[in-house]
Structure 1
Amino acid sequence: MAVSTLAAPSRARIARGGPLERQANRLFWPFVGPALAFYGLLFLAPIVFAAWTSLYKWDGMGVMRWRGLDNYRTLLDDQSFHYAVVNTIKILVVGGVATFAVSFALTLALREMAGKMFARSVLFFPCLVNALVFGIAAGFLFGPNGPVNALLRLVGIDAVPKWLSVDNLPAMIIAAIVWTATGYYTTIIMAAVDQIPTYLYEAAELEGANAWQRFRHITLPMSWEVVSVCAVLWTVSSVKVFEIVLLFGGGSTVSNAPIQTWTTAMYVYFSAFPGSSVPKLGLASAAAVVSLVMVGVFVVILRRLMRRERVRL
């Protein structure tokens, strides 16, 4: 009986955890609560409000009129929204594959390069440049009498009079996005590669592994978690592409940019701020909700496809 009585408090202490664990439990909500409230106020509340607004017809000033799912039906029939979704998916998929392919190639080259820190800084520089510079540079380089056409004439090739035509703009925009994003993701991936022990590469070289085999069996598995995070960052950022598309479209306002180049972010902005016409905040909110659902689906699929066991040394 005495043994049982003495053992009961011991079992209770084990169930409750040690002093450090109890202290951590007491401090959990005081530390997490303010951050969670701040997050809910700035992010969750606007999402809920946008979803609610998407069910109404509203110009932002007058009375809100119930429409139910009519705004979403309008999106299904809107050709400009179709262009926006297709262009956003092209940027996400085609631009993502190109960006990470170039980033991995640069990682292979930079890992053993002398002066790799300087090269990494040069690659990161386009991320610091305002998108307006790229729009001006594109107009200068690819104009009818620009340097690109002058170089083509110099080597005996017919000049292309309309590099920045509507048909070519989506490809030009993706190329510019890849160029600006490659240095950013290369820098993040290289930060993970720098943490890989050098003796793994030395052992692989002794075994006769070439550069591709070292990348496939050492660099990629050891930096896989960072690569998966970069993939999620790319997915989220690709849905928010706006200013570079606007500038390549040659307009100071969204309405001047060809709808063939629009992204979902541009569609949302133009619906909410159409300029001379009446704002359609309900339609803009519906497009924003669709974009949010789309990026959420892509992130979930991507995380599941890239899930793997952690490599431990």
Structure 2
Amino acid sequence: MTGSATTPAIAGTHSHGSGVWKRNQRALAPWLFLAPGIFMFALYVIYPIIASMWLSFYDWDGLGAKTWLGLDNYAELLDDDAFYTSLYNNIIWLVLYMLAVPAGLFIALFLNQTVTGIRIYKSLFFFPFVISQVVVGLIFAWFYAPNFGLFYKLIEWITGTGIAVLADDRYVTYGIIAAGLWPQIAYCMILYLTGLNNVAPDQIEAARLDGAKGYKMLWHVILPQLRPATFIAIVVTVIGALRSFDLVSIMTDGGPYGSSRVLSFYMYEQALSEYGFRMGYGAAIAVVLFAIMMIFISFFIWKMVRDERGM
């Protein structure tokens, strides 16, 4: 009798659960597919961000016990000349790196033509994107090298005196940025080439019938359709400018005399290099870098959403 009484109850429970799933299947199914990605994102992105913020309130060498400092690490940043040098260099990176966006656009417009040999041109412009940043750094280090570098020899031939770009604190940051722009322009070019493939041809033809051409066609017809590509290009360029660690490390190691440091490299120096193992102080620098990045990206997201609603 016990078995006969229990069986309908179990069946009823199963039926009830099945009914809930059927009623909410359309709403729940997307979340089931998203769940693994959300979990990995939370584990490898959200948690490290929160942990870094929490660590920035401590003094820790990475091995021993942590000592609570509160806001002392941030107060120290305000009196740290090396931090201001790194911040200033990052601002220069941000301003000049944005040249990659219009440069990538105009190269994409050129490569979007149907002319003889266009595939060869596309391959040449695409090449910087596929090589490692380390290789880019080494190439430009040799390019700037005193006595035998091509750039050094060219300046020497023009002016009579060569310039050791990476050994001069006046030019070193600009030299590294030029190296970084090479692959970044190629990346923006790829984004815009993809966007140009999605431009509506009927709008182009309608604009031509109305007499639009050249600059007017580009500004009023093509660019509005390239907003998604422009948004992605700006975001990845901002991120690339702020995480410019690899080129600085390869080309100058922060020199000469720390003049080419950026925030990401200074964070590494303080937290993981032989200069300190100051994990808390490095985390404070990382938090500042993250805040700057979020300010820029949030501004571009807000502007894009406002423009889309305006349309």
Shorter-normalised TM range: 0.7 to 0.9
Cα shift at 1:273: 1.4
Q: Does 1:247 align with 2:246?
A: no
State how far apart, in whole Å, the 1-side matches of 2:114 and 2:292 are.
40
The structure 2 residue matched to 1:128, chosen from 122, 127, 130, is 130
Question: What is aligned with 1:263?
Answer: 262
The structure 1 residue matched to 2:214, chosen from 208, 211, 216, is 211
Question: What is aligned with 1:112?
Answer: 113
The residue correspondences of 1:88-107 to structure 2 (distance < 5 A) are 88-96=90-98, 98-107=99-108
Q: Does 1:199 align with 2:202?
A: yes
**Mind listing any 5+ residue stretches in structure 2 that lack a counterpart?**
1-20
Deviations 1:177-233 (A, max 9, x none): 111100111111110111112233333334333322111111110111221122122
State how far apart, in whole Å, the 2-side matches of 1:136 and 1:290 are.
29
State how far apart, in whole Å, the 2-side matches of 1:153 and 1:289 are.
43
Cα shift at 1:144: 3.4
**Mind listing any 5+ residue stretches in structure 1 that lack a counterpart?**
1-18
Question: What is aligned with 1:7?
Answer: none
Deviations 1:15-35 (A, max 9, x none): xxxx99832113243223332
State how far apart, in whole Å, the 2-side matches of 1:183 and 1:215 are.
20
> Counterpart of 1:148 in structure 2: which amino acid?
F
Question: What is aligned with 1:6?
Answer: none
Change over 3 Å in CA distance of 1:166–1:264 after alignment to 2: same
Cα shift at 1:105: 1.6
Greater mean deviation of Cα atoms: 21-30 or 229-238: 21-30
State how far apart, in whole Å, the 2-side matches of 1:238 and 1:304 are.
20
State how far apart, in whole Å, the 2-side matches of 1:141 and 1:40 are.
42
Change over 3 Å in CA distance of 1:149–1:282 after alignment to 2: closer
Question: What is aligned with 1:50?
Answer: 52
Matched position secondary structure for 1:306: helix
Deviations 1:282-309 (A, max 9, x none): 0011111111111111111122233412
Matched position secondary structure for 1:161: coil
Matched position secondary structure for 1:60: coil
State how far apart, in whole Å, the 2-side matches of 1:117 and 1:21 are.
53
Asked if the contact 2:271/2:278 (under 8 Å) is kept, the reply is yes
Deviations 1:18-54 (A, max 9, x none): x998321132432233322221111111111111111
Change over 3 Å in CA distance of 1:284–1:177 after alignment to 2: same
The structure 1 residue matched to 2:187, chosen from 157, 160, 184, is 184
Change over 3 Å in CA distance of 1:141–1:278 after alignment to 2: closer
Cα shift at 1:171: 0.9
> Counterpart of 1:262 in structure 2: which amino acid?
R
The structure 2 residue matched to 1:293, chosen from 280, 291, 294, is 291
Matched position secondary structure for 1:61: coil
Change over 3 Å in CA distance of 1:131–1:179 after alignment to 2: same
Question: What is aligned with 1:9?
Answer: none
Greater mean deviation of Cα atoms: 56-65 or 161-170: 161-170
Change over 3 Å in CA distance of 1:311–1:117 after alignment to 2: farther
> Counterpart of 2:62 in structure 1: which amino acid?
G
> Counterpart of 1:108 in structure 2: which amino acid?
L
Cα shift at 1:141: 2.6
Asked if the contact 1:246/1:257 (under 8 Å) is kept, the reply is no
Question: What is aligned with 2:68?
Answer: 66
C-alpha RMSD over aligned residues: 2.4
Change over 3 Å in CA distance of 1:161–1:205 after alignment to 2: same
> Counterpart of 2:304 in structure 1: which amino acid?
M
Q: Does 1:281 align with 2:279?
A: yes
Greater mean deviation of Cα atoms: 289-298 or 191-200: 191-200
Change over 3 Å in CA distance of 1:197–1:118 after alignment to 2: farther
State how far apart, in whole Å, the 1-side matches of 2:49 and 2:85 are.
24
